[in-house]
Structure 1
C-alpha cells in the first residue's frame, strides 16, 4: 500500500538521491517506517541493518525480523556482544559513545557492501529532548531523512498505519541502557535482569512500560492509563514476585506512571 502525502514524497526523494543505502533498523516505529520508505524508493538497493547487542532485547530483534520480512527489504544482523568501556561507565553522554560505536559498525559494514549512505530514524520530535547521540550521527555523517522531511512521531505513526505496518501503534522504546541511572555501571548481567523483568510486565498484559534499575530496586513505570491494572492485591503480589525472580530485591511503583526519558530529569535541571 502506497502512502499519499507531500512529506512522504519529499522523504522518498531524499532517500532516492543517495542511490544505495543501509538503514539502521531497530524494529521500532521510526526505523520501520524508514525501511518501508527506503525499500519503496530504492528497492534492492536499500538494506536494513540491525546491531544485535546486550542493549537490544530479544523481543525487539524478533520484531525487526518480522517487519523486515513483511516489507521485503534485505535484512542484515551485526553481532556486537561486548559493551564498550565508555558505554559501560554510563556517563551522562553515554548515548553519544553508544551511537558512535553502533553507527560506526554499520558505516563500516555499509562501506564493505559498497553502499553510499547510512540512514537513521531520528524524527523531528527528537530535537526537543536530551539526545547526545545526535552529535555522534553528525560526526559519522549519518543521514536522518525523517528529520530532513520534518516528519513528527505522530505523522510517522499515521503514515505507518496507512502503509499497513504493524509498528504504527507500537509503544515507544529505547535501549535497555536507558533504564540505568547515569553514573551506575552497566553490565550484561544488569541489562539481562532488566530485560527479564520487562518481559514479565509484558506477560501481565502491559503495553508501555519501563523497569528502571536503581541498584537492587526495580522502579516500575507503566503508561498512566494502565496504572489502574496494578491496583489489585493479587496482581501486585504476582508482579512483585515476578520482578524479584529476575534478581531484584525490591519492586517499587512509579506513581506518576511512565515518562519518556525520566532518567534525564537531573540533566534537564542543570
Structure 2
C-alpha cells in the first residue's frame, strides 16, 4: 500500500522528505489495534481520517461532534466528505453554548471546547473498546496561540500528523495527489473564533457572523472573516479582494446593517488567521 501511494506522490512532484513522512504516518497508524479519529471536515482531520482508514479499514472510527458553534456550510462539507471517502463515520450533537465556561469567552475558551469534545469522544470510543484517540494538529500549529493543545495532552490524545512532522502545505500536497476534495479548502475554525475574548458568545452573534461570511463568499471572495466587535463588523478579506468590497460598499454596508451591525469596517491589513489572538500572544 505504501509503495503504491509513494509512486503516485513522486509522479506528482512531491518531495522525497514529504513522502517519507507519509510512510511514517501510515506505519504509525497501522501499529494501533483500532483508533477513533476526531473529525471536523477540515483539511487536517479529513486527511488523517482517510490515512487511518487506509491503514486500519473498519478498525478506524471517525466521529464529528456536531456543535452549535460550527457553520452549516462546514457541517455540510463534513457530511459530504465522509460519505464520499467511505469513512466509518458518525456525528454526535452537542450544545457548546450551554457551557457557561465556554460562552463567557475567556482566553482559554478553546481549551474548554477541545477538552469537552475529546472527553466525549473518549467516552464513546471506550464503549466500542477503542483505546487510541487521534486528532489532526499538524507541525505548523505550534506557531499560533492554541490552548486546545493542553486538552490534547491531558486526555492522552495523539496527534500523528504533528508527530511525523507534516506541515499544512505538505498535507495539502499529499491530499491533492490523493484526490481528496478538501486539499484546497480554506482554513475555517469555528465561528466563536470571530468574537473577541471577554465578549460573551451568543447564538445571535454566531448567526450574524455566519450570514455575513456566507454573503461575502457569494460575492466571489474565498478567504474571509467577519470579526464581531459589538455593533461593528470588521471584515477581513484577501488584499486582492479589497477593491471589490469598496466597489460594492453600499451593497455590503446595507447587508451588514440588515444583520444588526451599526458600523462596517474593512481591515486594511487583510485576512489574518488568528488575528484576535494577537493581544494574548503579545501579553
Q: TM-score category by the smaller chain? A: over 0.9
Q: 1:236 to 1:100 in 2, by over 3 A?
A: same
Q: What residue is the counterpart of 2:131 in the other structure?
A: 116
In 1, Cα distance between equivalents of 2:242 and 2:147: 31
The match for 2:225 among 210, 234, 243 is 210
- 1:54 and 2:68 aligned: yes
Give the 3-state SS of the residue equivalent to 1:231 in structure 2.
helix
Residues 15-34 of structure 1 mapped to structure 2, 5 A cutoff: 15-34=29-48
Q: What residue is the counterpart of 2:93 in the other structure?
A: 79
Q: What residue is the counterpart of 1:126 in the other structure?
A: 141
Task: Give the deviation of 1:44 after TM superposition.
Answer: 1.1
In 1, Cα distance between equivalents of 2:217 and 2:266: 16
Task: Give the deviation of 1:247 after TM superposition.
Answer: 2.4
Task: Give the deviation of 1:82 after TM superposition.
Answer: 4.0
Q: What residue is the counterpart of 1:100 in the other structure?
A: 115
Q: What residue is the counterpart of 2:251 in the other structure?
A: 238
Deviations 1:166-225 (A, max 9, x none): 111111111111101011011122112211111111111111011000001110101223
The match for 2:184 among 169, 186, 193 is 169
Consecutive unaligned residues of structure 1, counting only runs of 5 or more, are: none
Q: How many residues get paired? A: 268
- Structure 1 outlier segments of 4+, above 3 Å: none
Q: What residue is the counterpart of 1:147 in the other structure?
A: 162
Q: What residue is the counterpart of 2:50 in the other structure?
A: 36
Q: What residue is the counterpart of 1:262 in the other structure?
A: 275
The alignment yields a C-alpha RMSD, in angstroms, of 1.4
State the TM-score, normalizing by the size of structure 1: 0.95
Q: What residue is the counterpart of 2:81 in the other structure?
A: 67
In 1, Cα distance between equivalents of 2:240 and 2:174: 25
In 1, Cα distance between equivalents of 2:194 and 2:100: 18
Q: What residue is the counterpart of 1:192 in the other structure?
A: 207
Task: Give the deviation of 1:242 after TM superposition.
Answer: 2.0
Q: What residue is the counterpart of 2:16 in the other structure?
A: none
In 1, Cα distance between equivalents of 2:51 and 2:166: 13
Give the 3-state SS of the residue equivalent to 2:5 in structure 1.
coil
Greater alpha carbon shift after TM alignment, 146-155 vs 79-88: 79-88
Give the 3-state SS of the residue equivalent to 1:183 in structure 2.
coil
